[in-house]
Structure 1
Amino acid sequence: MTAGRNRSFDKEKALKEAMRIFWQNGYPGTSLTDLTTAMGINKSSLYAAFGNKEALFKQVIDLYVDKHGIVHAAELFKENMPLEERVREYLMSVIRMQTSPALPKGCLVCLSTSEMAGDCLPEDSITQIAGINEETVRSLSLFFEGEKQAGNFSGELSPDGIANYLLTLQFGLAVSARNGSSLEALQEVVDFTVKQLKL
């Protein structure tokens, strides 16, 4: 019996491999052959387990956010640490992921955001990616609003302004990481950023 009939493969592992390929190549640069080769399955198994390329990509994005996206926010809520240090650790967590030798460089959401213009991504994926970016800004804004109300910072920047700045910064860091910047180089950017924010 073929793999396409009994689905005799590790679906979670296959999805992780699909994530790696999309992360490396981008959506338009990834073919079905790229996916089936990396996932170790044939096309019929891919369609049976995940749907078409568009449906698989949406599942990959969800996996990416769960495994490599929302995890960084935990650094912001660590106890007994000044806000400035928590923000620094948040950004350090981001760049450690973006430069990890065990992962493709950069950020899949950032890469996909850059592909939203034109016809690079399916409409559903554009909506999905835009929603992730909006939720990131909203969550960061709520966090800094709470910190401001708690008296942990009183700078001129608004919570919304800081949130938008940090998302923009993360995109810039991701592009730099994808371009070959080292963890040490990006750490200098993080240190400079935190100093300039004057939290």
Structure 2
Amino acid sequence: MTAGRNRSFDKDDALEQAMLVFWTNGYPGTSLSDLTNAMEINKSSLYSAFGNKGKLFNQAIDLYSNKYGLVHTDELSKMEKTLPERIRNFLLSIARMITSSNLPKGCLLCNSTSEIAGNCLPDNAAKNISAMNQHTVISLTDFFQKEQQKGNLNDKFSPNTLANYLLTLQFGLAVSARNGSDMEELEEVINFSIVQFE
């Protein structure tokens, strides 16, 4: 193949591979060679299809959020279960993903959030991740407000405090998984944490 010519490839599959590399190595730990090798394309094809590394990372973050982030919230809407059961199942769903042998350990969004303060990410990516985290807190705050209104949750803590607590817990689980904790260990932490919602 002549240098600079585009290779025919599946863009969705290539983006998935790029996401896995960023998930494993982090943004600053990922080189263009890491990406092109995993995506099985050359640099010219990468730039043509995705833009630069920063733009590719933003697309990878969006893919991760849609494919591996939003799915867990389905557990919160299963109204046939109690609130503590729904939150426990929500967290267990996350724990199963972040400890899966088929995926990199931990959470790409959590890993990337920790890179923001060190100025390791492009500005657009940092803003994108911060916006996602803010949206999560807003959505969870709304969720807890409605649960209080339904009488499913006492008013000992504000909905916003509970939302931040749940996001912090998610990130803590992700870091623990990244550090080698298995599903059994994370489940013990989850069971301990649920008392805040009883």
Q: TM-score normalised by the shorter chain: which range applies?
A: over 0.9
Which residue matches 1:51?
Answer: 51
Kindly indicate whether the alpha-carbon contact (under 8 Å) linking 2:141 and 2:160 is maintained by their aligned counterparts in 1. yes
Which residue matches 2:169?
Answer: 169
Q: CA deviation at 1:154?
A: 1.3
Alignment of 1:23-172 (within 5 A): 23-172=23-172
Kindly indicate whether the alpha-carbon contact (under 8 Å) linking 1:3 and 1:45 is maintained by their aligned counterparts in 2. no
1:70-115 CA distance string (max 9 Å, x none): 1111100013110110000000011111101110000001000100
Provide TM-score, normalisation by structure 1: 0.96
Letter in 2 for 1:38: A
Inter-CA distance 83–42: structure 2 relative to 1 (3 Å threshold): same
Kindly indicate whether the alpha-carbon contact (under 8 Å) linking 2:50 and 2:56 is maintained by their aligned counterparts in 1. yes
SS in 1 for 2:116: coil
Q: Which runs of 5+ in 1 are unaligned?
A: none
SS in 2 for 1:102: coil
Q: Which runs of 5+ in 2 are unaligned?
A: none
Which residue matches 2:21?
Answer: 21
Provide TM-score, normalisation by structure 2: 0.96
Q: CA deviation at 1:118?
A: 2.8
1:148-198 CA distance string (max 9 Å, x none): 101111140111110000111111111000000000100000000002x14
Q: CA deviation at 1:5?
A: 3.6
1:1-48 CA distance string (max 9 Å, x none): 669645411111100000000000000000000000000100001001
Distance between the aligned counterparts of 2:159 and 2:70, measured in 1? 19
